[in-house]
A and B are shown apart, each in its own frame.
Chain A
Amino acid sequence: MADETRPTSGEGQSSGGGGGERRPQRSGPGGGREGGPGGRKYFRRKKVCKFCTEKIDSINYKDVRLLAQFVAESGKIVPRRLTGVCTPHQRRLSSAIKLARNIALLPFAGRAA
């Protein structure tokens, strides 16, 4: 996301003329990753939130199989930028994972022994 600053600064200069229509394009690099003038070599598919698309409402700490998908091998919670989970769901997810850790359903560190 750090490379987002470059197109934004360019946007600020040209905002005088027709900046309004350019706005949707600007939101593109945040998630879509289409090759801009910088020239990204390969196109990465936009990640979408699993909970939004599959309409999973409840993120329960007892659902280990679901939570384990968002925990790395080391036991860490996988960040949003890698999984594509949206902010409200990531918040619920992380608190559910933390509860599950407390009751020994998920490990604090390392693989479940």
Chain B
Amino acid sequence: MSAILEVRDLRTQFDTLDGVVRAVDGVSFDLARGETLGIVGESGCGKSVTALSILRLIPPETGRIAAGSSIRFEGEELTGLSEQEMKRLRGHRISMIFQEPMTSLNPVLTVGTQIAENVTRHLGLPKKAALARAVEMLDLVRIADPGRRVYEYPHQLSGGMRQRVMIAMALSCDPQVLIADEPTTALDVTVQAQILDLMLELKEKTGTAIVLITHDLGVVAETTQRVVVMYAGRKVEEAPVEALFDNPLHPYTRGLMRAIPRLDVEADAAGTRPRLQEIPGLVPLLTRPIIGCAFAARCELATDRCRTTPPPFVDAGGGHIVACWEAKP
């Protein structure tokens, strides 16, 4: 299957008072047509910046995608496109859903207007037809009484409904790629499951490929086919989802797995469960260039080589790759 999105050596940097922050530092991955790819990592690892970089939404006053980065969508290089050409792509062929449904919708415009303007902009439908499309989309994301809801404002909807509206908006022009940045983080657990199921179901219907960005390994396990694990702006591991959970190779991925609470581990005679293990240490400062492996300072396996030379990717077979000197595939 050919990749619809190919990201190569993406480097996104921000100017801050403390110096240049290398938020994304040489990340590469492919997204196949109709695939669901998870990008996981903790806060500040560059997941969201990766997503914003793909749509070229990095605020130009403070940040930039460094030269040499490549983002190809259906074979077309996005880093070289003009802002006008990008505007035609955004919301039409690549769309995005954000984390906070509470603040991501415009409070003074009806949800119908916000969906319809997308349709008018990209598909050229007249207002009336665009509004009809908005009703259709609300129905598709299973909002009851969509004919009335299109005339409502975001504050009249619950958090879950707002995220459904965001999804309806993002899918209104049948995009080939949907980037979902922590789409369920701000929602109740039961609503989370509904939203994820809805996204997967709509993906089946429309064939849209999804990049799902999350810090929640549970979400990854349930919804994605392949996973990219990021740490400190770099990709450290990439694998099909089963392979990653069965056999995590990078010490960081293993650390993440050990930090997941489990219900299937029996309590001992005294009624205590094994303590969850945190990863010792802190994420490195991104204002300084990281020599060697970014995780070396927190890694129990780290050697001198790890601290001086960045590890190459090792192929463990079956599309499972890991950037670690010490990993034994």
A binds B: no
Enumerate chain B interface residues (CB-CB to A < 8 A). Answer: none
Enumerate chain A interface residues (CB-CB to B < 8 A). Answer: none
